[in-house]
Amino acid sequence: VNLAQQSTIASNKTWIIILISGFLIALLLGIMGWLLARNHRRRLQQKDLLHQQEIRSVKQKEQLNQYMSVLQVQEEERNRIARDLHDGLGGLLAGVKLRLSTIASRERNPSSKEEIGTVITGLDHSANELRRISRNMMPESLLYMGLEPALEDLCRYLSNPGTTIRFQAINLQATYPQEVLINVYRIVQELLSNALKHAHASQVIVQVSDGDRHLFLTVEDNGQGMAQTTSELKPSGIGLKSIENRVALLKGRLETDSDASHGTTTNIEIPLDYERQD
């Protein structure tokens, strides 16, 4: 009897061990299957995420390419209009002034001479306004003298009794690619316009430096500052979005720190060895 009981107990233990082993194996297989399924889902999610990122990247590149094409057309048109104004209308005004000056020198009637002088003064104001418009469209100093003289001239021109604009150039090169020249100039032009028209700053500092194959641009003012979530920087329908797009075209980085009590500081970093988008 004892032998039979021992045999039964041993048989039961064997079955228990087999059942427990089978359960553990099934549990292990289930865990492995769940892990494999989870990893597969993660891989699918990562692939889908990468695919969505690639789609967004392609769309962004297409948008930037379209924006760059628009900018190129705009700059070409600005350049053409600036030349027409300077060479055409500017030459006509100069010719009219010369003829009036000749007539005034021959005129003996003081009253008529004074009236002619008033007209000549009006022509001078018109010529100055024409030069201002032409400079805003396409400054000759930018194309023929380089970035530093053009920015220095811009800061000096926009300075007024209520606002002092200081320009600092550090290690700037004599020549840069035209795409860099035009976009950097337009960026500074827009930032200064923001400081003058919207921030009402009394002091503005523009610093541009070249180092480590990068162009570093900082524009700092002591104006009213801006709300980061608003679109206050939107003069002439261009605004901050235009600056962001130009920086993106140059593969650069843009950081803006604005506070109502300390004004606005904009830092831009532009690589000088970026690959231009076709």
Compare 3 and 221 and report the one with higher pLDDT: 221
Residues 166 and 204 sit within 8 Å (Cβ to Cβ): yes
Which pLDDT belongs to residue 230? 40
pLDDT for res 185: 92
pLDDT at 198: 81
More confident residue, 273 or 177: 177
- Tokens of residue 22, six digits: 């089978």
Local confidence band at 203 (pLDDT 50, 70, 90 cut-offs) = very high
SS3 per residue for the chain: CHHHHHHHHHHHHHHHHHHHHHHHHHHHHHHHHHHHHHHHHHHHHHHHHHHHHHHHHHHHHHHHHHHHHHHHHHHHHHHHHHHHHHHHHHHHHHHHHHHHHHHHHHCCCHHHHHHHHHHHHHHHHHHHHHHHHHHHHCCHHHHHCCHHHHHHHHHHHHCECCEEEEEEEECCCCCCCHHHHHHHHHHHHHHHHHHHHCCCCCEEEEEEEEECCEEEEEEEECCCCCCCCCCCCCHHHCHHHHHHHHHHHCCCEEEEEEECCCEEEEEEEEECCCCCCC
| 270 token code pair | 């532009």
What is the average per-residue pLDDT within 86-91?
Answer: 72
- Read off the pLDDT of residues 155-170 as tens digits, 9 standing for 90 and up: 998 899 999 999 999 9
Query: From CA 85, how far away is CA 91, in angstroms rounded?
Result: 9
CA distance 17 to 185: 82
This model's pTM is above 0.85: no
Can you say how many angstroms the Cα of residue 257 is from the centroid of all Cα atoms in its chain?
Answer: 15
Q: Which residue has the tokens 């530093």?
A: 148
Specify the pLDDT at position 237: 40
pLDDT at 274: 55
Superfamily of domain 140-278 in the CATH hierarchy: Histidine kinase-like ATPase, C-terminal domain (3.30.565.10)
Dist. CA 116–CA 107, nearest whole Å: 9
Average pLDDT value for residue range 14-36? 89
Give the confidence band of 278 by pLDDT, cuts at 50, 70, 90.
Answer: very low
**pLDDT grade, residue 239 (50/70/90)?**
low
CA atoms of 21 and 19, how far apart (whole Å): 5
- Is the pLDDT at 141 greater than 90? The verdict is no
**Does residue 32 or residue 80 have the better pLDDT?**
32
CB 113 within 8 A of CB 121: no
Look at 71-85, 133-147, 193-207, 216-230 and tell me which has the smallest mean pLDDT.
71-85
User: Cβ contacts of residue 107 below 8 Å, gap of 6+?
Assistant: 113, 116
Asked if pLDDT for residue 100 goes beyond 90, the answer is: no
Quick one: pLDDT at residue 227? Answer: 57
- Average pLDDT of the chain is 82
The strand pair at 164-170 and 203-211 is best described as parallel
Which range of 7-16, 74-83, 85-94, 253-262 scores highest in mean pLDDT? It is 253-262
